[in-house]
A and B are shown apart, each in its own frame.
Chain A
Amino acid sequence: QQQVKQSPQSLIVQKGGISIINCAYENTAFDYFPWYQQFPGKGPALLIAIRPDVSEKKEGRFTISFNKSAKQFSLHIMDSQPGDSATYFCAASSLVYNTDKLIFGTGTRLQVFP
């Protein structure tokens, strides 16, 4: 019940296209859903996050869509650029229960070709 399932494992997108990464969870106590971006040789960096009281959050070209009833959330990268090539991790935690450890998905390696 602590798992966060992420798909696809890898994604190849043309420059200018839309990249979509999906995650699903089971623990209804989760109430914080961040996405992290990791470049080779670096630690993951927070990209964007959402709470379950909203269905969508947008920051620039990055959008999180959240479906509470389906217990799913996704990251959309609009106008994908070669510089977006990285590994993306979804995660979840429960701030309400003060168990603020993040449970990570298995990651998606995104490659954007010019």
Chain B
Amino acid sequence: DAGVIQSPRHEVTEMGQEVTLRCKPISGHNSLFWYRQTMMRGLELLIYFNNNVPIDDSGMPEDRFSAKMPNASFSTLKIQPSEPRDSAVYFCASRPVGIGYTFGSGTRLTVV
């Protein structure tokens, strides 16, 4: 089991550019979560999916952020246009029913 796989590990982009973060959850896990981690705000839940359906996107900061899960093995988080305040580590996590999350190693995003 390779765990939750995120790509890229690091992303540096210029303000105004589109950024796409990718996640492959663990096979058989039916829930997927996107979190953002910063020193100031800690771990914030952005959005989560159950069986590929978005359940709660109340944590998505604004319309610049969007997330999709076209199938059970892939999800994307897109920021368009990106801003310096979006700089953070973005984590994807997945879980089967009733058990704790497994996090990926994260994508460190820097917007300059």
- Flag if A43 contacts B106 (CB, 8 Å): yes
- Given known contacts A101-B33, A101-B56, A104-B43, A34 and B100 CB-to-CB distance under 8 angstroms: yes
- Given known contacts A101-B45, A102-B45, A46 and B33 CB-to-CB distance under 8 angstroms: no
* Docked CA distance A106–B98 (Å): 24
* Docked CA distance A102–B42 (Å): 13
Q: How far is the CB of A64 from chain B (nearest CB, A)?
A: 13
- Flag if A100 contacts B95 (CB, 8 Å): yes
- Given known contacts A100-B31, A104-B43, A46 and B101 CB-to-CB distance under 8 angstroms: yes
Contacts of B95 in A (CB 8 A): 100
* Docked CA distance A99–B50 (Å): 10
- Flag if A103 contacts B102 (CB, 8 Å): no
* Docked CA distance A105–B42 (Å): 8
Closest to A103 in B: B45
> Does any Cβ of B come within 8 Å of A42's Cβ?
yes
* Docked CA distance A68–B77 (Å): 37
Interface size on A, residues (CB 8 A): 20
Tell me how many residue pairs across A and B have CB atoms closer than 8 Å. 42
- Flag if B45 contacts A43 (CB, 8 Å): no
Contacts of B105 in A (CB 8 A): 41-43
Closest to A102 in B: B101
* Docked CA distance A89–B106 (Å): 16
Contacts of B93 in A (CB 8 A): 43
* Docked CA distance A49–B33 (Å): 19
Contacts of A41 in B (CB 8 A): 105
Contacts of B25 in A (CB 8 A): none
Q: How far is the CB of B56 from chain A (nearest CB, A)?
A: 6
Contacts of B42 in A (CB 8 A): 89, 104-107
6 sample A-B contacts, Cβ–Cβ < 8 Å, listed by A number? A43-B91, A49-B100, A89-B43, A100-B95, A101-B56, A104-B43
